[in-house]
Amino acid sequence: MSKATIDNATILSELRALSREVKNLRRDVAFVLPTESLDEYAHPKRILNSYRRATRKFPPRRSA
């Protein structure tokens, strides 16, 4: 094998580190930008109820 060959474990650890960094950047951007208000929609209660049902059925993943 040549020196250019990188094992899968190294690639996987680098991808995980990159994924964590992207998640942190997205969280930072979401913190700075204002969130959307449901008041602008015709049926905000329906949207909120749908969101709550969806998060109960498919809970968001917690980032480490």
Torsion of CA 31, 33, 34, 37, to 10 degrees: -100
Asked whether residue 62 is domain-assigned, the answer is no
Sign of CA dihedral 49, 51, 56, 57: positive
Task: Give residue 39's pLDDT.
Answer: 85
Asked whether residue 27 is domain-assigned, the answer is yes
Asked whether residue 1 is domain-assigned, the answer is no
For residue range 14-63, list pLDDT tens digits in order. 999 999 999 999 888 877 777 778 888 899 999 999 999 999 999 877 76
Report how many domains make up the chain: 1
Asked whether residue 2 is domain-assigned, the answer is no
Query: Does the predicted TM-score (pTM) go above 0.85?
Result: no
| Structural domain span for residue 26 | 8-57
57 vs 10, 48, 52, 64, CA distance in Å?
A: 35, 14, 9, 21
Q: Which two tokens stand for residue 26?
A: 């997205």
